[in-house]
Amino acid sequence: MDTQAKLIIKTKYCYEYIYGEEAILIYDKYSYSNQLIFKNGEKCDVDWIAVIQ
């Protein structure tokens, strides 16, 4: 597992402004319940992700 991967994460209806903070990404390509969970407990729905190479 690469914990230093550079990602672009497109969220839906997310009103959190976070920069440089760790978060938990729950993502399955074919799922409709993908989420990004922040340290403060807030959650954002994830639309898609892309890996920057």
Return the domain boundaries, the chain.
6-52
Write out the DSSP string of 9-49: EEEES-----SS--EEEE--TT-S--EEEETTS-EEEEEEE
User: pLDDT by residue for the chain (53 residues), tens digit each?
Assistant: 566 778 899 999 899 888 888 899 999 888 889 999 999 999 999 999 998 88
> What pLDDT, on the 0 to 100 scale, is given for residue 45?
95
- What is the pTM assigned to this prediction? 0.74
Amino acid found at 15: Y
